[in-house]
Amino acid sequence: SQTIHQWPATLVQPVGSPLSLECTVEGTSNPNLYWYRQAAGRGLQLLFYSVGIGQISSEVPQNLSASRPQDRQFILSSKKLLLSDSGFYLCAWMKGTDTQYFGPGTRLTVL
């Protein structure tokens, strides 16, 4: 069966510090991978998605970047965090036009 992992689960970072969030998927190959952000009390905003290694599509211009160094690994990064980067970050995977599956999320607080 397939599983998706995210770490860390929670993170508190000062403004201006770097960020690296990791997502890995097990039990499938060549999935589409997604990064979403959910601000408090709001819906999910699609940040990045990837259909293959090294292929990244950005949905919203922002302070973040994404990379896919391996087939089942997706990384979300920032060089300098802003207060507005605080939120709940969710990784997801999908094959074809099937169901999208989500990870447990990372709660990021920027102080």
Partner 1 sequence: KQEVTQIPAALSVPEGENLVLNCSFTDSAIYNLQWFRQDPGKGLTSLLLIQSSQREQTSGRLNASLDKSSGRSTLYIAASQPGDSATYLCAPSGFNKFYFGSGTKLNVKP
**List of residues contacting partner 1 (CB under 8 A):** 32, 34, 36, 42-44, 46, 49, 51, 57, 59, 88, 90, 92, 97-105, 107
Measured distance CA(96)–CA(22) in Å, rounded:
23
Nearest approach in angstroms of CB 34 to partner 1 is 8
Residue among 11 and 88 whose Cβ is closer to partner 1: 88
Nearest approach in angstroms of CB 82 to partner 1 is 23
Nearest approach in angstroms of CB 16 to partner 1 is 27
Residue among 15 and 60 whose Cβ is closer to partner 1: 60
Residue among 4 and 64 whose Cβ is closer to partner 1: 4
- Could you give the angle at the alpha carbon of 21 between the alpha carbons of 81 and 77, nearest 5°? 45
Question: What phi and psi values does residue 97 have, to the nearest 5 degrees?
Answer: -110, 35
DSSP H or E segment with residue 31: none
Measured distance CA(103)–CA(90) in Å, rounded:
6
